[in-house]
Amino acid sequence: MMREMVTRYGREGLGFLWVIGEPLLFCLGVIAMWSVLKPPYEHGVRVGAFVMTGYMCLLLLRHFIQHSLGAIQANVGLLHHRQVRIIHVYAARAMVEFMGTTAAFLAVFIILFAMGQVSLPKMPLLLYWGWLSLAWLSFGLAILLSALAVRFEVVERVTQLFTYMLIPLSGAFFTVSIVPPAYREAFLLVPMPNAVEMVRAGFFGEFFEAYYHPFYPALCGTILLFAGLLVLATALKYVDVE
pLDDT, tens digit, for every residue of 163-172? 888 888 888 8
Bridge partners of 10? none
- Cα–Cα nearest to 24, from 52, 44, 54: 52
Alpha-carbon gap, residue 106 to 83, rounded angstroms: 34
Distance CA 128, CA 71 (A): 28
Q: Which residues contact 216 (CB under 8 A, 6 or more apart)?
A: 188, 191, 194
Strand positions, DSSP E, 34-184: 41-42, 45-46
d(CA 101, CA 24): 8
More confident residue, 156 or 43: 156
Q: What is the pLDDT of residues 131-169, one digit of tens each?
A: 999 999 999 999 999 888 888 878 888 888 888 888 888
**Mean pLDDT (whole number) for 211-231:** 95
* Pairwise CA distance, residues 10 & 58, whole Å: 26
Model confidence at 16: pLDDT above 70: no
> For residue 33, what are the CA distances in angstroms to 36, 48, 159, 217?
5, 10, 27, 30
User: pLDDT higher for 31 or 238?
Assistant: 31
Query: How confident is the model at residue 136, as a pLDDT?
Result: 97
* Per-residue pLDDT at 194: 96
Q: Is residue 191 helix, strand or coil?
A: helix
Cα 113 to Cα 46: distance, rounded to the nearest angstrom: 12
pLDDT surpasses 80 at 64: yes
8 A C-beta contact, residue 94 and residue 64: yes
**Taking each helix axis from N to C terminus, what angle separates 124-151 and 216-235, rounded to the nearest 10 degrees?**
20
**What pLDDT was estimated at residue 125?**
96
List pLDDT tens digits, range 96-115: 889 888 998 998 899 889 88
Give the H or E element holding residue 114: helix 86-114
pLDDT of residue 77: 57
Distance CA 217, CA 240 (A): 34
